[in-house]
Structure 1
Amino acid sequence: MNDTSHGVHIRGGSPADAPAVLAMLDSAVAWMNDRGNTEQWGTTPFSTQPARVEQVDRYLTENAPFIAELDGTPAAAMVLGSGPDPRIPITPSDEPERYVRLLVSDRRFAGRNLGSALLAHAVQETRRAGVRLLRVDCWAGGGGELVAFYERQGFTRTETFLFGSWPGQVLAQRVG
């Protein structure tokens, strides 16, 4: 568990957090669509897609989920795994790593730096595990705004990939 100076409390997540995480994903899809971004996560709410609901359940049971809360309300989520989703065509690491499988915030809490707080927590968790490599992949479309966000968090671009027609970028950060 972690408390930051901005009233954000980060706790371990569990399968019981699935409804909150799905609500965050649904709010993100609506927010992106309102801005003309229908490519990143599509136009259909995650909570209405059985495959996406199952994916969230797997994330919360097979990986290390973390929930950022504001005043006891789940406001953002991150899922750390030991590597990327095996369906995605990413070069495997030749060393142990932690991999950000999901990072999402409830758009009601935009501007509170919740993603930054969760990524700082990922660095701490990676270090605590004695691992030196933290990686993430993200959507590389839309002018690269999401890639730039991860670069501002200390990540460096490593490789690009296509998942179907979805352009992706892998980024890495060395954890000392």
Structure 2
Amino acid sequence: MLIVEPAIASDAATILGLRHAAEDWLFARGIDQWTPREVPLTTVAAQIEAGEFHVARRDPRGPIAAALRLIGSDPIIWPEHDEPACYVHGLVIDRSEAGTGLGTLLLDWASEQTRRAGRSLLRLDCAETNGELRSYYLNQGFRHVGRREFADGSAWFSVALFEKSTDR
């Protein structure tokens, strides 16, 4: 069983803790994806307040097992795309849930939410150098549709862009 619901203010520290654990895991393996501690608690709290974050639990009273942001536009990463889409960001899973299929369930949930919102595409991105995550998204039915280069001196790296139709 999986319960996905909007995050509430008191979930912010837990979501950030999941992200920190993921950042540390990635960093220890030399995988470029998230820079450790780049996102402050105030940012997570603001994203929750904006209704962007959702949390997943295996049981209604259980701990948060995963979280993700589902947003209706992403002009920073997808500036030249105006097709009706939703965008996944910050998908993070408790390390104890790795390999359980929880990521697939959350991406399926996001796809269904996108379809219900009348949008035909679910989009996401990852570090261009993160080959394992790129393969994972391809195996989840996403298509690689391009890249976004951040050569303007920002701390961001190039990202690979993926999308998946929500049509059945």
Asked whether the two chains share a fold, i.e. TM above 0.5, the reply is yes
Q: Pick closer, same or farther for the CA change 1:90–1:130 going to 2, 3 Å.
A: closer
Deviation per residue, 1:17-42 (Å, 9 max, x gap)? 111110110110111122123x3222
For residue 60 of structure 1, what is the aligned residue in structure 2? 48
For residue 78 of structure 2, what is the aligned residue in structure 1? 90
User: What is the distance in 1 between the residues matched to 2:138 and 2:93?
Assistant: 18
Q: How far apart are 1:89 and its partner, in Å? A: 4.6
Q: List alignment gaps of at least 5 residues for structure 1.
A: 1-6
Q: How far apart are 1:139 and its partner, in Å? A: 1.3
Report whether the alignment pairs 1:15 with 2:9: yes
User: What is the distance in 1 between the residues matched to 2:164 and 2:51?
Assistant: 20
CA RMSD of aligned residues (A): 1.9
User: What is the distance in 1 between the residues matched to 2:10 and 2:163?
Assistant: 30
Please, which moves more after superposition, 147-156 or 88-97?
Answer: 88-97
Matches within 5 A, 1:72-91: 72-84=62-74, 86=75, 88-91=76-79
CA contact (8 A) 2:13 2:41 kept: no
Deviation per residue, 1:33-59 (Å, 9 max, x gap)? 22123x3222x3x3xx6x532321232
Count of residue pairs brought into register by the alignment: 161
The alignment-based identity, stated in percent, is 33
Matches within 5 A, 1:19-168: 19-37=13-31, 39-42=32-35, 44=36, 46=37, 52-71=40-59, 72-84=62-74, 86=75, 88-142=76-130, 144-163=131-150, 164=154, 166-168=157-159
CA contact (8 A) 1:135 1:171 kept: yes
SS of residue matched to 2:11: helix
TM-score normalised according to structure 2 size: 0.85
